[in-house]
Structures are given as C-alpha cells and as structure tokens.
Amino acid sequence: MFTDKILLPFGTGASQVIGADIGSSSIKLVELSGRNGKYQLERYVIETLPKDLIQDGNITNIDQVSDIFRRGLKRLGSRIKLVAVALPTATAITKKISVPADQEEEELELTVEAEANQSIPFPLDEVNLDYWVLGAAPNMPGEVEVLIAAARREKVDDYSAIVEGAGAKPEIVDIESLAIQNAFSLIMPGLPGKGRGQNIALFDIGSNGTRFFVFRDKDILFSRELSFGGNQLTAEIQRAFSLPTAEAETAKKTGGLPDSYKNDVLRPYLDNVAMEVARALQFFSTTTTFGTVQQVVISGGGGLLRGIDKVVSQQASVPATIANPFSTMKTAGRVRVQQLAQDAPLLLTASGLALRSFES
C-alpha cells in the first residue's frame, strides 16, 4: 500500500529528475542543477497541448499526450530520463496529523492507515497512499507532524503512463499544490524582505481556473480554487473579433490583434481579474485569523499578460509582482534569457518538481 517513489510528496534526493508540469494547455519541462541550496537552470521546454486533451485532470488520450511529452523531451535534450510529475490538486487528498515522536515505522504506518480509512472516501485498495514526517509538531511537545497523501490509483497510473509512453521513468508522482509550495522557496528571495514573516498571496492563473494560496515562511496557510482563468479572455477575443478558438488563443499569446484590443478587451479582463483577486484577499482576511496579505505574486498564464501586476496592485491595494522562480538563479548558456523572462511565470510547478532532485 505504501508506494515506492510514487506519490511521494517529497523527493528522495537519490536521483536527479526532470520536473514535468502536465497542464490543461501545455507541458512544461525543467531541468535544474546545483548544490547547497544554489541552483542553475540548465534547460526548459514548453509544449502546447491541443484544447480539451486534458480536462479537469482527466486525460482523454494518453497516447497523444505521451507523443507530445516525447517531443518535449527530445527538444529538451537532457540525458536525464527520470521524471517528477504532479497530479492536479483536486484529484488527490492530503492531511496533516500529529503522532508521538517515538513511534516506530510499523506503528506509524498503522496510524496512517487508520487515519486514511476515516478520511478517504473510497477503498484503500483503490488508492496510492504515502506519508512524510515533516518534523516537530507546533506547540505539541513530544509529537511530530506527518503529511498523508493519497490519490486514486487510476490517476497515478494515467500520469505515469504518459511519462513511460514517452520513454522516460516516473520517479516521483507528486501533487501540484505541494510542488508549488516547494517552488515558492525559489520566489521568496526576490520579494521585499525576502518574504519572511509576511502573508504572501500567490494567484496561479491557468486556462480553466485559478489556484489561490497564502504562504507564510514557505508554509501554506490557506488555499482555494477560483473560477476565473485565461479561457475567459480567449472567449472575449473570439466575440470581439469573430475569430475561431484556436486563432483567438494564438493571437492572445503572440499579438497582432486590432488596436481596440487593449482598451476594449484586455483592460476590462484585467479589471475583472483584479476585482476577483481583491475579493479573494478580502475573503482570506475576514474568514481566517491570519490577518491581511502584504504581497501578491501572480503566476501561470495570467502572469504573461502585460500590466496585470500594476492593475492588481492598484485595485487590490496590495503590492503585486510576477512570479519568477529563476530570479536569483544562474542560467546555463544554452538558455535564452530574454525568452525565459517571458516564460518564467509558467514554470512554477515544473520548477518545484525539479527541486525534488535536491531534497532528502
């Protein structure tokens, strides 16, 4: 029941892996090198996926996704054939528990199984289940905090099959929220005060929705799924300029739209995003005991929209910045720095997965 390198929320540190973020609109691959907490971006690749090939974490054609994954690995040109991939957060269950620090491994496994039996709404023989001892439990002397992670075996198998079909090995199957938490450690050094002792909100704006996190010193205080995403802007472009979906999506990314686009389509969309961000921040401050947010970070495809940080900052009255997990990192000579500056907000999850190479 306890898996071997599958659904491990933290890497073993035994092998170097390629971080692979399989999203609804693209596959992002990242390879890092480094030691002693100092990293270098060796290479990265972004491969676009056809629309609706992955919907809400459900893969409609594993072979087709594998072919695109294989193409990405070929373009990446890495010798590493071990991959860390992440399941969508909504397809997995995580829970923290506290147990006596002196429990033996066998006793701890029984404790985890008992807790899983109560918390997981399907039979344990249908899931991949794992756990990780995080360390001393806050305000509970003599106890340690344990993170339990579980997902339906069919989901783990699907994402593993994509990697295997591309000729690589799924060394780690992670969970997106945990990979993002891991990558947040790369963003913190570039924030005011290096992000320490602050409530920092991360809005990861994807095609179909937005993941909202509040971090404090690398820990997730709060998380929530929000309904707005980049597909809403694509739909507005379609309506405004009578374009097919594929052409509207391309135009959104590459430009070439009429002069009226900026004021008539983009600005109203950015205003709506900023309003949703402000609402989410208000919800956090009024429904939790953690106080207000001091900084906003924007990642995902939404981070590619020019001016989104300024609009959010103005309307939400909180300083906002665009996520760049490589801001304090060296880059290999083969990496095109100017292109990386544009792509960086898309690479957060993949970077967090690539970091699993260096954890113990």
pLDDT at 3 (0 to 100)? 46
In a domain, 313, yes or no: yes
Question: How many separate domains does the chain show?
Answer: 1
pLDDT at 35 (0 to 100)? 80
**Mean pLDDT (10-residue bins), the chain, 360 residues:** 44 74 95 89 95 85 97 97 93 88 89 87 85 85 89 92 96 92 92 93 94 93 93 93 88 86 95 96 96 96 94 96 94 95 96 86
Residue 230: which CATH number? Answer: 3.30.420.40
DSSP, res 345: G
In a domain, 128, yes or no: no
In a domain, 244, yes or no: yes
How many H helices and E strands in the chain? 11, 16
Closest C-alpha to 132, from 16, 28, 2: 2
pLDDT at 14 (0 to 100)? 52
C-alpha 266/C-alpha 354 separation (Å) is 33
C-alpha 317/C-alpha 285 separation (Å) is 14
Provide the 3-class DSSP secondary structure of residue 302. helix
Q: In what order do the strands lie in the sheet with 26-35?
A: 169-175, 82-87, 18-22, 26-35, 38-48, 330-331
C-alpha 271/C-alpha 81 separation (Å) is 43
Residue 134 CA: distances (Å) to CA of 131, 178, 229, 309: 9, 13, 33, 34
Contact (Cβ atoms closer than 8 angstroms) between residue 11 and residue 354: no
| Secondary structure (H, E, C), 17-48 | CEEEEECCCEEEEEEEEEECCEEEEEEEEEEE
pLDDT at 30 (0 to 100)? 98
In a domain, 236, yes or no: yes
- 126 sits in the region (left: phi over 0; alpha: psi -120 to 50; else beta) called alpha
In a domain, 46, yes or no: no
pLDDT at 360 (0 to 100)? 53
Residues, the chain: 360
Give the CB-side neighbour count of residue 49, counting CA atoms within 13 A.
Answer: 25
Host domain of residue 203: 190-322
C-alpha 62/C-alpha 70 separation (Å) is 12
pTM score, whole prediction: 0.91
C-alpha 104/C-alpha 306 separation (Å) is 53
C-alpha 243/C-alpha 251 separation (Å) is 9
In a domain, 276, yes or no: yes
In a domain, 255, yes or no: yes
In a domain, 57, yes or no: no
Determine the Cα angle at 70 with ends 68 and 71, to 5°: 65
